Amino acid sequence: MTEGEHVVSLDDVHVHFESESGIFSREKDVVKAVDGVSLDIEENDVVALVGESGCGKTTLGKTAIGTQRPTEGSIAYRGQDVWEARDKDGDVEIPFERIRRALQIIHQDPGASLNPNKTVLHSLMVPLKLTKPDMDAFDRRERVHEMLSRVGMEPPEDYANRYPHQLSGGERQRVALIRALLMNPDLILADEAVSALDVSLRIDMMDLMLELQDQFDTSYLFVSHNLSNASYVTGKADGRIGVMYLGELVEIGPIDEVIENPQHPYTKVLMWAAPNLNPDAEEEPESPLRKIDIPDPRDPPEGCRFHTRCPEAREVCKEEPPGTDVDDAGNHRVACYRAIDDHEYWESPELVD
Ligand SMILES: Nc1ncnc2c1ncn2[C@@H]1O[C@H](COP(=O)(O)OP(=O)(O)OP(=O)(O)O)[C@@H](O)[C@H]1O
């Protein structure tokens, strides 16, 4: 990788979905699932995206691994535009096939991505055939057994011969993780990958992912509606947390800074809702939101999208969307006027409903 090239770089990415608004209507509604997000993912990075259901986390994650085409903006893998590679447009330095292997996913429901009619051994041989075509069948089998032992599935010979339905949810998720890792990826999108597991298994799975990160030299993009999980995994890995609201990345920064010094009022709301991150929660039983309902993503509010619910909103927030302000080190970004000391926000009247 030459200097300045990130593993994955999203530049002003928009993903808008069109849908018919009604049976008799010819009008198209547009859902702005992702709206103007820029994000760089580095070597051995851990980034978690958090936010309420429907805020665009999965869509942004899929865009980052090249399975969702942006409607505007670009995504590059090690400097190569992913969709130009896919379309064989211009000078393609990294073929799409290589990019697809480098960018992997594990889903919330690994059962859905494992073939129910194939044994664990069969499913795990597939990536090895692709990445190590010269390896013979005996060595492949050994490698699969070694990986099963590595994730605690002992005896591996037994697990290798099982079908997905003969595994628990946690075991299936481990197989999905091994399968992704055997592709030698540079980035794994873990889309709610631990959400379906019970709490102790969740921690085990997150620990395992981080332990294997060093061995496999990969980065992770975690998508989670649960701020506690996201902060656990990024805290352990010294990673970053990105907060999404209605298609926008409203705050991103190193985990300690975001949790200890949240800048966006929406990040503070998410923390209020995560009791283990907010020791004062018992003293603050009232939700800090002005309104509970999330606005319709087909018709997001003008100005700052959060102004309709924000406890700190002022008249000026109804006008221009706030740009992202960056701290001195340039690594904690927040899209809120409150981050700018001399902004006219501070003179603007409070918003009353
Ligand atoms: N293929 C699609 N066609 C139309 N709309 C879509 C499509 N995929 C997602 N959306 C819409 O885009 C918005 C963002 O969805 P997305 O799944 O990315 O959010 P999310 O934050 O991951 O939510 P969740 O946690 O519920 O999965 C939602 O309003 C969703 O309904």
Distance 340 CA to ligand 1 centre (A): 32
Least confident of 90-99, 256-265, 278-287: 278-287
Q: Is residue 109 part of a domain?
A: yes
Q: Is residue 3 part of a domain?
A: no
* Cβ–ligand 1 contact at 225 (below 6 Å): yes
Q: Is residue 45 part of a domain?
A: yes
Kindly indicate the confidence band of residue 38, based on its pLDDT and cuts at 50, 70 and 90: very high
Given this model, what pLDDT does residue 266 score? 95
Could you give the CA distance from residue 243 to residue 89 in angstroms, rounded to a whole number? 34
- DSSP track, 299-337: SPPSSSTTTTT-TT-BGGGGSSPP--EE-TTS--EE--G
Angle of helix 199-216 relative to helix 227-237, nearest 10 degrees?
Answer: 30
Going by the DSSP 8-state scheme, the letter that residue 114 receives in this structure is S
Q: Is residue 173 part of a domain?
A: yes
Backbone angles phi, psi at 33, to 5 degrees: -65, -40
Do the beta carbons of residue 45 and residue 252 sit within 8 Å? no
Is residue 47 over pLDDT 90? yes
Dihedral sign for Cα atoms in the order 217, 101, 123, 233: positive
Could you give the CA distance from residue 160 to residue 145 in angstroms, rounded to a whole number? 7
Pocket test of ligand 1: the residue of 13, 15, 17, 222 to mutate, having most ligand atoms within 8 Å of its CB, is: 17
Could you read off the pLDDT of 78-98 as tens digits, one per residue? Answer: 999 999 999 988 889 999 999
**What's the start-to-end Cα distance of the chain, in Å?**
52
Query: What count of residues does the chain have?
Result: 353
Number of domains the chain contains: 1
Distance 48 CA to ligand 1 centre (A): 17
> 3-state class of 197 per DSSP?
coil
Task: Give the atom of ligand 1 at the shortest distance from the alpha carbon of 225.
Answer: 25
Angle of helix 169-181 relative to helix 120-131, nearest 10 degrees?
Answer: 10
Could you read off the pLDDT of 180-236 as tens digits, one per residue? Answer: 999 999 999 999 888 888 888 889 899 999 999 988 999 999 999 999 999 999 999
Given this model, what pLDDT does residue 28 score? 73
Q: Is residue 276 part of a domain?
A: yes
- Between the alpha carbon of residue 31 and those of residues 36, 213, 299, the distances in Å are 13, 35, 8
Strands (E), 61-128: 72-77, 80-81, 103-106
* Cβ–ligand 1 contact at 195 (below 6 Å): no
> 3-state class of 120 per DSSP?
helix
Q: Is residue 150 part of a domain?
A: no
What ipTM was predicted for this assembly? Answer: 0.97
H/E stretch holding 50 reads strand 46-50
> What's the pTM value of the predicted model, to 2 decimals?
0.92
Could you read off the pLDDT of 235-246 as tens digits, one per residue? Answer: 999 999 999 999
Pocket test of ligand 1: the residue of 13, 21, 58, 305 to mutate, having most ligand atoms within 8 Å of its CB, is: 58
Task: Give the atom of ligand 1 at the shortest distance from the alpha carbon of 15.
Answer: 12
Hey, how many other C-beta atoms are within 10 angstroms of the C-beta on 109?
16
* Cβ–ligand 1 contact at 185 (below 6 Å): no
Distance 34 CA to ligand 1 centre (A): 9
Selected residue with higher pLDDT from 147 and 89 = 147
Q: Is residue 148 part of a domain?
A: no
* Cβ–ligand 1 contact at 31 (below 6 Å): yes
- The enclosing domain of 21 has a CATH number of 3.40.50.300
Domain span at residue 113? 8-117+163-347
Distance 8 CA to ligand 1 centre (A): 22
Q: Is residue 20 part of a domain?
A: yes
Going by the DSSP 8-state scheme, the letter that residue 90 receives in this structure is S
Given this model, what pLDDT does residue 193 score? 86
Kindly indicate the confidence band of residue 297, based on its pLDDT and cuts at 50, 70 and 90: confident
